[in-house]
Amino acid sequence: MRLVLASTSPRRLDLLKRIGAEPVRIAAPDVDEDVHAGELPRAYVLRVALAKAQAVARAEDEIVLAGDTTIAVGRRILAKPADEPDLRRMLALLSGRRHHCLSAVCLIGLDGKARTRISDTIVTFKRLSDAEIDWYVASGEGMGKAGGYAIQGKAEAFVRFLSGSHSGVVGLPVFETRALLEGAGYQLG
């Protein structure tokens, strides 16, 4: 059985390699990641992970793995910031408060069935000063990231508390991913 990663994220590939999973190919899924009206964070992240996995064609001997991560403050979903003012808004919202990082994984097995797991990590940021927000926005690191931050980078200095999966916040919860791969019979190196 061969593994296909339905993601072009270098972070997801690195996290997969850490658990001994080597994809034979990487495919960029083309899916709509817009939030539907009234959609709750957990349903959203599971839907997008499933859509990404289903968007990639697979051969008979291939399994497809996809993931999606989002940040939720209450029922509000913080997707990737559209621009710098949007990033500033997100950072101000996260400042001094607790939020959830939901990271879903979907695996389509040899039988064609989709199986999913989700990791819910609670993260609390310190109170951010205007100068800290300016510094982080100027770094450019938060653009293109769910919730406007990368925990594996400069934003790690803002994390006062974390309960759950650090790798899930990075973009792929390795515990849940490993369980899905083992359940499908994939041999980890």
Q: List the structure tokens of 140.
A: 């450019």
- In 3D space, the residue among 155, 4, 150, 144 whose CA is nearest the CA of residue 67 turns out to be 4
- In 3D space, the residue among 65, 84, 54, 61 whose CA is nearest the CA of residue 26 turns out to be 65
Q: Give yes or no: 130 in active site.
A: no
CB contact at 8 A, 104 and 68: yes
Given the residues 30, 32, 34, 68, the one annotated as active site? 68
Helices (H), 41-156: 41-54, 84-94, 130-139
CB contact at 8 A, 64 and 105: no
Q: Which helix (H) or strand (E) holds 67?
A: strand 62-73
Name the residues annotated as catalytic.
68
